[in-house]
Structure 1
Amino acid sequence: MVFKRLLGSLGVGGPTVDTVLDPAPARPGSTLTGQVHLKGGNADFDIDHITLELVARVEAEHEEGESEGVVVFSRFTVGGGFRLGEGETRSVPFTVVLPWETPVTELYGQGLGIVLGARTELAVAGAKDKGDLDQLTVAPLPAQEAILEALGQLGFGFKSADLEYGRVHGTGQQLPFYQELELTPAPQYAHQVNEIELTFLAGPGGMEVVLEADKRGGFFSEGHDAVTRFTVGHHDVRDWNTEVDGWIRQLVEHRASYGSQGAYGHSDPYAGHGEHGGHHGYDDHHGSHRSGPGMGTVVAAGAAGLAVGVVGGMVAAEVVDEVGDFFEGDEEEEEG
């Protein structure tokens, strides 16, 4: 989604900016490429700098309930220091590197309901103005895809995905928010947990996988959450179905007062793990051979209301409207 916008702070006759991202989905930790197209106004203008901001729609929980807001999670200067002549057209190509923790917005081409954008800021003669806002599409890293695929084959279903403002306690998290994927339990675990929540925290040297189970209570006990964490390499080759099933088994058997060791890293009981879902308010915030239907199939089926049930179908159906509202709302706000 691209739209051109007159730089309001410069008045009628100012330059226009039109940023176009290359169409292929980017990946966390990899490059994002595109071009900023400028068209001069009715006079010469000195372009001080062109800045690309990465923004995300993020949810926050607080005492009054929940709220949503837009968080800028990265900024890049991609050009500037030149004069744009009257009526002149100029294209400024750019290549920037996405943060490793950039959320995933799609799996096998199916949107997950995560809304990210790239917004251009133009500084001209001391005045700054936001330019157009473009939808940013991010595909999963190989290890993320392999783990999601294994979960799908084990019988877990995609329920929803969101971005939560706050920190996951005990991790190396860098961004002020984290992505949480909610999964319906596989039949063999349905009597033990209500849902599984999955968070990936990638970095240059590997990735932390945080799993949280919303556990069912028995006749004489209340339900409670359990959390475990594992570390994997970006290009690990494993029997992912067996590996992930082992993680889930450890998770559902886990008790907050116990510590245990993961096969390829340390699981963490997260004493006080409420930070994983505890938010601090707003300031502005493949491997082995696999067979059978994977998470990509499950997500795609969810769009038609199949496999993951009515809830999954509703979530997938709302994605297009939510993305459209976000970008249209930004355009209206800035033009107002």
Structure 2
Amino acid sequence: MVFQRLLGSMGIGGPSVDTVLDPVSSVPGGNLSGEVRLTGGRADADIEHITLELVARVEAETEHGEHDGSVVFERFTVAGGFRLREGERRSVPFAVTLPWETPVTELHGQSLGIVLGVRTELGVAGARDKGDLDPFSVRPLPVQEAVLEAFGQLGFGFASADLEYGRIGGTGQQLPFYQEIELSPAPQYAGRVNEIEVTFLASPGGLEVVLEADKRGGVFGGGGDALARHAVGHDQAARTDWNTEVDGWIRALVEAHGARKGHGFPDHDAHGHATHGHSGHGHGGHGRSGPGMGTAVAAGAAGLAVGVAGGLVAAEVVDEVGDFFEGDEDEGDGDDES
């Protein structure tokens, strides 16, 4: 989206700004680039700063129910301290680094329904004005993609994805929210769990994979949630048998049901997540077995794409994105939780 907006604080004839993002999806911890295009108004203007805000649409659970809102999770000042002459055209290129925990918005080119945007704030002579949001896409890191492909090859399907406001206890989480990718169970687990929720917490050194199983009740015990954490390195993406690794994670998670209470299974915090999760490590040194990543897209992993297995209606995603980018400007600065 390219927006052009006259600054309300300057009135008619003030500077206008277009923010244009490069049409390439980024990755967590990678660069987001583009340029801010300024056009001078009917008089010279002192530009104090040009600031980019990264904004996410998140869900928050309160005692009054679940609510949606926008959260600013990073700010970058990319220029400032210059005079924009009357009618002058100026382009300010930028390249900023996304936080490592930036949510993934697409998988194999398919939208997951997660909405992220860049909002440009222009400070002019003591005033500031925030323009519309420009959406941007984030594809998974190689190790994130490898884990999701393994789920797909094991028979799990994509159900939905969302951003939850809050923190997962016992992890190194940095942002004030986390992403949950909800998967429908593979046939071999369909009678034992309702769904599996996957959260990636990336960092320069690797990845924390937090798994939560919404479990079915049975003859020998009730239902409930089971959680586990696993740490993997970025260098393990191409040298790990992820089908075997992920299957082991799920088997251990499901089998933990009997030991969930009174046998060391983690307690839960206010957000329903473990305060002391199990910590495991992926096994490096294994040769990757089965089809390669490209083949996996056409095979089981394609089931994780939106609309294939989860029944997510594309129109609903479009409506949600549209509501966010059309309506966010009316929300006050009080939504900034960063």
Q: CA deviation at 1:44?
A: 0.3
Single out whichever of 204-213 and 6-15 deviates more from structure 2: 6-15
Q: Give me the TM-score of the superposition, normalised by structure 1.
A: 0.88
Superposed CA deviations along residues 202-248 of structure 1, whole A, max 9, x for unmatched, are 00111100000011111353201000000001120200000000000
Match in the other structure for 1:272: 268
Q: What SS is found at the alignment partner of 1:214?
A: strand
CA contact (8 A) 2:50 2:121 kept: yes
Q: CA deviation at 1:299?
A: 3.5
> What value does the CA root-mean-square deviation take over the aligned residues?
1.9
Match in the other structure for 2:304: 299
Q: What SS is found at the alignment partner of 1:221?
A: coil
Distance 2:4 2:136 in 1: 17
Distance 1:120 1:228 in 2: 39
Match in the other structure for 1:13: 13
Match in the other structure for 1:265: none
Return 5+ residue gaps in structure 2 as ranges: 275-285, 333-338
Q: CA deviation at 1:161?
A: 0.1
Q: CA deviation at 1:294?
A: 4.9
* Aligned: 1:318 with 2:316: yes
Q: Please tell me the residue identity of whatever aligns with 1:8.
A: G
Q: Please tell me the residue identity of whatever aligns with 2:135.
A: Q
CA contact (8 A) 2:151 2:301 kept: no
Match in the other structure for 1:70: 70
Return 5+ residue gaps in structure 1 as ranges: 260-268, 279-285
Q: What SS is found at the alignment partner of 2:271?
A: helix
Q: Quick one: which of 232, 239, 242 aligns to 1:240?
A: 242
Q: CA deviation at 1:273?
A: 4.5
Q: What SS is found at the alignment partner of 2:235?
A: coil
Q: CA deviation at 1:333?
A: 6.4
Q: 1:274 to 1:151 in 2, by over 3 A?
A: farther
Match in the other structure for 1:251: 253
Q: Please tell me the residue identity of whatever aligns with 2:34.
A: G
Q: Please tell me the residue identity of whatever aligns with 1:247.
A: W
CA contact (8 A) 1:119 1:130 kept: yes
Superposed CA deviations along residues 28-84 of structure 1, whole A, max 9, x for unmatched, are 001111100000110000000000000000000011110000000000000011000
Superposed counterparts of 1:1-336, under 5 Å: 1-219=1-219, 221-236=221-236, 237-254=239-256, 255-256=259-260, 257-259=262-264, 269-276=265-272, 288-291=288-291, 293-294=298-299, 296-300=301-305, 302-303=306-307, 306=308, 308=309, 312-330=310-328
Q: What SS is found at the alignment partner of 2:311?
A: helix
Superposed CA deviations along residues 264-293 of structure 1, whole A, max 9, x for unmatched, are xxxxx4322453559xxxxxxx97143355
How many residues align structurally?
Answer: 311
Distance 1:287 1:324 in 2: 44
Distance 1:85 1:31 in 2: 31
Distance 2:58 2:208 in 1: 21
Distance 2:45 2:73 in 1: 29
Q: CA deviation at 1:317?
A: 3.9
Distance 2:287 2:2 in 1: 37
Q: Please tell me the residue identity of whatever aligns with 1:175.
A: L
CA contact (8 A) 1:169 1:270 kept: no
CA contact (8 A) 1:207 1:231 kept: yes
Q: CA deviation at 1:295?
A: 5.8
Distance 2:82 2:118 in 1: 23
CA contact (8 A) 1:167 1:276 kept: no
CA contact (8 A) 2:159 2:312 kept: no
Distance 1:157 1:275 in 2: 25
Q: Give me the TM-score of the superposition, normalised by structure 2.
A: 0.87
Distance 1:287 1:52 in 2: 43
Q: CA deviation at 1:3?
A: 1.8
Q: CA deviation at 1:315?
A: 4.2
CA contact (8 A) 2:15 2:41 kept: yes
Q: Percent identity?
A: 69
Distance 1:80 1:134 in 2: 21
